Amino acid sequence: MTTTHKVMLLPGDGIGPEIMAEVKRVMTWIEGAYGVSFDVSEGLIGGCSYEEFGHPLTDETLARAKASDAIVMGCVGGPQWDGKTDYDKRPEAGLLRIRKELDLFANLRPAMCFDALADASSLKREYVAGLDILFVRELAGGVYFGEPRGIEDLPGGGRVGINTQRYTDAEIIRIARVAFEMARKRGNKVHSAEKANVMESGLLWREEVTKLHAAEYSDVQLEHILADNCAMQLVKNPKQFDVILTDNLFGDLLSDAAAMLTGSLGMLPSASLGSGGPGLYEPVHGSAPDIAGQGIANPIAAILSLAMALRYSLDMGDAADAVEAAVSKALDSARTGDIWAEGFERVGTTGMGDAILAALG
Ligand code: NAD
């Protein structure tokens, strides 16, 4: 009997629909090669959903997403919605809502440097060739969600902007567990990054990670590192890292910095996992409004996001390996503009998809 996987596709704004078209072609190839069937449901998220329904994510779309096995998203946002002061109507609010509703607390962001792209990094080849870091970023708590928050008038005049960094022991333990489990399947090393020197939430983070490590994961090498030092070490000697465990805010910044070590934003996938429900898979990059509609966006981050969905939500690790190998092979010949170098064929979004499909065979 053919296995059917329910996959929700949310192309989103800007280059989202262009890169998602290539994801669909790869899915069709997988159906043929692995004898599975994808029951695909498509929906709107972000600015396009706001234009159509007056909200960046409707309850109906959310319900379909919840009923799927995996959600593959493109990207949201664009300058036409930038001026919106109504935060719950902004494109990003759709993304925050789906993460919150699905309780996606673990954001996995690999920073891998394909050998073919080592020269595209801002660091020298010897520092980045073979780089393979996995960021495990807490996604459902911390300063992006903590209360109180807001902008208030001060009694004597002037205003104050308030956000609250807040973590419970349970939130820390569940994300640390993901990091230790991932490390066991990789290089067996976790760096836990916080600011225990100046923040109580950081101190609690360090204490809870230490306790969990001693109780259940003493076979994994654990190092605590201050988040600012982690930023420096990422630039100085990035290959010392295997898994980096960190909170929502520091993870946002550190993983973006690491992203640039790998050559291009257009190459980087991510996964957001909860406890049991569908995972959300999306490129790290945004909607790239500067190149949207031109057919030149790099679809690789989106295709590698599909590969992560295959591995973490659909139990198709073999297919994930095949897709990643095909991307690596395709890079030996074809390149989109963001990663193009002398000696390679310069292709557009579809051309990159063609090269990956050709490498898949
Ligand atoms: P961006 O990632 O969209 O673009 C940064 C630069 O990288 C641009 O020059 C762009 O052309 C290039 N780039 C990005 N993806 C590419 C790809 N696949 N192929 C080739 N080049 C690519 O970041 P930005 O310009 O800061 O943000 C644009 C919009 O995206 C904003 O509205 C922002 O809020 C939104 N955004 C969304 C997400 C998301 O959906 N998860 C993430 C970040 C930013």
Residue 270: closest CA among 75, 69, 79? 75
Q: Which of 103, 115, 132, 256 is catalytic?
A: 256
pLDDT digits (tens, 9 = 90+) for 328-341: 999 998 999 998 88
Q: Which of 144, 189, 239, 354 is catalytic?
A: 144
Q: Which of 103, 132, 228, 354 is catalytic?
A: 228
Determine if residue 228 is labeled as part of a ligand binding site: yes
Determine if residue 90 is labeled as part of a ligand binding site: no
Question: Which residues lie across from 269 on neighbouring strands?
Answer: 283
pLDDT digits (tens, 9 = 90+) for 215-251: 999 999 999 999 999 999 999 999 999 999 999 999 9
Query: How many other β-carbons are positioned within 10 Å of the β-carbon of residue 88?
Result: 11
pLDDT digits (tens, 9 = 90+) for 197-209: 999 999 999 999 9
Whether 357 and 29 have beta carbons less than 8 Å apart is answered as yes
Is 312 annotated as catalytic?
A: no
Q: How far is the CA of 211 from the centre of ligand 1 (A)?
A: 39
**What is the model's pLDDT at position 86?**
83
Helix ranges (DSSP H) in the chain: 16-34, 47-53, 59-66, 91-101, 125-128, 169-184, 200-216, 227-236, 248-261, 300-312, 317-330, 349-360
Residues 6+ apart with CB under 8 A from 254: 135, 193, 227, 230, 231, 234, 244, 246
**Chain position carrying tokens 């949201």:** 76
pLDDT digits (tens, 9 = 90+) for 294-308: 999 999 999 999 999
pLDDT digits (tens, 9 = 90+) for 33-47: 999 999 999 999 999
Sign of the CA dihedral 352, 28, 319, 280? positive
Q: How far is the CA of 223 from the centre of ligand 1 (A)?
A: 33
Q: How far apart are alpha carbons 278 and 294 in whole angstroms?
A: 32
Ligand 1 atom nearest to 82, measured from its CA:
32
Question: Which of 49, 265, 347 is the pocket-test mutation for ligand 1 (most atoms within 8 Å of CB)?
Answer: 265
130 pLDDT more than 70: yes
Q: Each residue of 286-320: b (16+ CB within 10 Å) or e?
A: bbbeebbeeebbbbbbbbbbbbbbbbbbbebeebb
For a pLDDT cut of 90, what percent of the chain falls above it? 82
Residues 6+ apart with CB under 8 A from 340: 346
Residues 6+ apart with CB under 8 A from 118: 125, 128, 129, 263
Q: How far is the CA of 284 from the centre of ligand 1 (A)?
A: 8
Phi, psi (5° rounding) for residue 139? -120, -15
**What is the model's pLDDT at position 342?**
86
Whether 18 and 26 have beta carbons less than 8 Å apart is answered as no
The DSSP output letter for 5 is: E
| Protein residues with CB under 6 Å of any ligand 1 atom | 15, 75-78, 92, 95, 265-266, 282, 285-291, 297-298, 301, 338
